[in-house]
């Protein structure tokens, strides 16, 4: 996953989904006329129905009436904000209640905006567009916070999240999971000889090699920090993990890295491999630690090699 893939994905994004929760056919029809050309519309005619639909579909935005039988809009937003799956969905109240104290209450309960009836179609369009823009901006910032800006690979935070998810999945499905921990050899010497800007070029080239080799949908490569990289290989046994590690090692070794000033260099990489079938009693920290131990042995064994952790 790279920055360009993220931005490309955002450009190809489907229509945003809006959930209308209102018990009035007239209001629903009016809102659909205004919004359906630009958005996918879902409809619920009661608070309870709206809450369940929001949980099952996770819309991008909710438009909520206040005056409804059984469960009014205030009670509905309280329930939405309590549930983990719906708490961050922005809610716009569209209601006939026009008193300042009603608007204040709606905003204090977590409403993002408040529109009173009768409403102007242009006002509704713009208020909705404003909330969607805020939503897109937050999502973009969240995505970029998981990317290493130099190499375009996911960063350490992103890797930890993915590792935890795949670890739990491996426990449920009783499958093996492999880990490659990598470190560039004598990288400090490269920085000292060519400068830090050239060192950045080396990191970028190596990242591209790793990313080009780990192409299965479940493979997940990241920059671990400094000159270290890490690759997660779910449902991959030790032999296949070694094959992938050796492919990365040989491609890095054979890559002539040329700089803008015409200078060039080669660099090598050491790789530690750990394969394990986790259970509920296994330690994720130990799993990482053993992969790191294998990397340390690869360094001790002369660098530019792949070393596998052997359970003691």
Q: How far apart are CA 65 and CA 70, in angstroms?
A: 13
- The H or E element spanning position 76 is helix 73-82
Contacts of 63 (CB under 8 A, 6+ apart): 18, 19, 20, 21, 22, 31, 91, 92, 94, 128
Q: How far apart are CA 164 and CA 160, in angstroms?
A: 6
Terminal C-alpha separation, the chain: 35
- Structure tokens of 146? 């998981």
**Listed residue (187, 180, 190) closest to 241, CA to CA:** 180
Where does residue 44 rank: exposed (0-12), middle (13-18), buried (19+ CB within 10 A)?
Answer: buried
Q: Assess whether 173 carries a catalytic annotation.
A: no
Q: Is the dihedral of CA 185, 189, 194, 198 positive or negative?
A: positive
Q: How far apart are CA 167 and CA 165, in angstroms?
A: 5
Per annotation, catalytic residue among 227, 228, 246, 253: 227
Cα–Cα separations (whole angstroms), residue 207 to 24, 251, 264: 56, 11, 17
**Is the Cβ–Cβ distance between 184 and 234 less than 8 Å?**
no
Residue environment code for 104-141, b if the CB has 16+ CB neighbours within 10 A, otherwise e: ebbeebebbbbbeeebeeeebeebbeebbeebeeeeee
Contacts of 27 (CB under 8 A, 6+ apart): 65, 94, 117
- Structure tokens of 257? 């890295």
Write out the catalytic residue numbers: 227
């Amino acid at each position: 996953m790279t920055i360009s893939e993220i931005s490309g994905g955002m450009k190809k994004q489907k229509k945003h989904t809006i959930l209308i929760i209102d018990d009035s056919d007239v209001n629903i029809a009016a809102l659909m006329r205004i919004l359906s050309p630009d958005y996918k519309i879902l409809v619920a005619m009661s608070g309870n129905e709206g809450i369940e639909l929001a949980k099952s579909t996770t819309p991008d935005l909710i438009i909520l009436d206040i005056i409804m039988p059984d469960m009014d809009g205030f009670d509905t937003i309280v329930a939405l904000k309590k549930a983990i799956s719906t708490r961050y969905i922005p809610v716009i109240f569209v209601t006939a209640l026009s008193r300042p104290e009603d608007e204040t209450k709606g905003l204090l309960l977590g409403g993002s905006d408040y529109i009173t009836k009768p409403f102007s179609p242009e006002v509704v369009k713009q208020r909705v567009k404003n909330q969607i823009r805020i939503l897109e901006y937050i999502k973009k910032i969240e995505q970029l916070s998981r990317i290493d800006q130099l190499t375009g690979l996911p960063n350490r935070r992103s890797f930890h999240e993915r590792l935890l998810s795949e670890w739990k999945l491996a426990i449920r499905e009783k499958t093996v999971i492999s880990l490659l921990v990598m470190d560039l050899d004598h990288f400090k010497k490269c920085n000292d000889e060519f400068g830090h800007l050239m060192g950045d070029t080396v990191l970028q080239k190596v990242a591209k090699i790793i990313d080009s080799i780990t192409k299965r949908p479940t493979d997940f490569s990241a920059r671990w920090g400094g000159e270290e990289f890490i690759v997660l290989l779910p449902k991959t046994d030790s032999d296949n993990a070694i094959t992938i590690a050796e492919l990365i090692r040989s491609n890095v070794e054979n890559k002539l890295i040329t700089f803008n000033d015409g200078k060039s260099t080669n660099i090598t990489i050491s790789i530690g491999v750990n394969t394990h079938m986790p259970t509920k009693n296994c330690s994720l920290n130990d799993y990482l630690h053993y992969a790191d131990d294998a990397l340390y042995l690869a360094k001790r064994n002369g660098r530019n090699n792949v070393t596998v952790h052997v359970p003691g």
